[in-house]
């Protein structure tokens, strides 16, 4: 019998884990992984999974996921506060532990944010009011990319 590693949907896992963190309470449940609703309440955030290649080629046992985190809206300081708290949570609370979510159990290894947090500068365009009252229409105020080593928890490795 072949033992298969069955990876959970890590993007869904990260979403559920992030929503549960009290330090990100200012986002409420406004962390999105797909399209953002047309009627928006700021601040809000988006998680995008970019890639997740295997650490060891050909094993598919442990992957290194590349995720992009975007935080929109609010004041520049407020969005930076959220983004920086998020980085700290990923590095200090997510890494090195097993986590249980409704999307599956997983173990997170090393977390790195190689570029740190990038902040966009407001311009008249990004500050403009749109017809439906949105602000900051074009760009995220803060963005960072995290590389997270991930593997399924033992219960998800089966034959």
Partner 1 sequence: MGRFIPAASLDRVVSDATRPERRSVAAEVVQVASESNNDDTGAYDRSLGVFEDRRGIGAESTDFAAHIIEWGDLRQAAQAPIRTGAEAAGRFEER
Is residue 11 at the binding interface for partner 1, with CB under 8 A as the rule?
A: no
Q: Hey, how many other C-beta atoms are within 10 angstroms of the C-beta on 87?
A: 18
Give the nearest distance from C-beta 159 to partner 1 in angstroms.
31
Residues 46 and 69 sit within 8 Å (Cβ to Cβ): yes
Per CB under 8 A, the list member of 9, 84, 105, 137 interacting with partner 1 is: 137
Residues in Cβ contact with 5 at an 8 Å cutoff, skipping those fewer than 6 apart = 60, 61, 151, 152, 156, 157
Residues 153 and 10 sit within 8 Å (Cβ to Cβ): no
Give the nearest distance from C-beta 99 to partner 1 in angstroms.
24
Residues 100-129 that bind partner 1 (CB under 8 A): 114-115
What residues make contact with partner 1 under the rule CB under 8 A? 34-36, 40, 46, 48, 50-51, 53, 66, 68, 70, 72, 114-115, 136-140, 143, 145
């Amino acid at each position: 019998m072949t033992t298969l590693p069955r990876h959970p949907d890590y993007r869904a896992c990260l979403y559920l884990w992030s929503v549960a963190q009290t330090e990100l309470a200012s986002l409420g449940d406004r962390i999105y992984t797909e399209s953002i609703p047309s009627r928006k309440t700021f601040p809000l955030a988006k998680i995008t999974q970019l890639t997740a290649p295997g650490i060891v080629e050909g094993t598919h046992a442990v992957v290194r996921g590349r995720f992009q985190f975007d935080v929109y809206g609010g004041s520049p300081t407020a969005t930076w506060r959220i983004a920086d708290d998020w980085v700290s949570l990923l590095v200090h609370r997510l890494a090195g532990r097993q986590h249980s979510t409704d999307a599956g159990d997983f173990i997170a290894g090393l977390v790195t944010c190689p570029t740190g947090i990038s902040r966009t500068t407001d311009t008249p365009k990004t500050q403009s009011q749109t017809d439906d009252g949105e602000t900051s229409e074009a760009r995220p105020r803060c963005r960072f990319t995290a590389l997270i080593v991930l593997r399924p928890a033992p219960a998800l490795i089966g034959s």
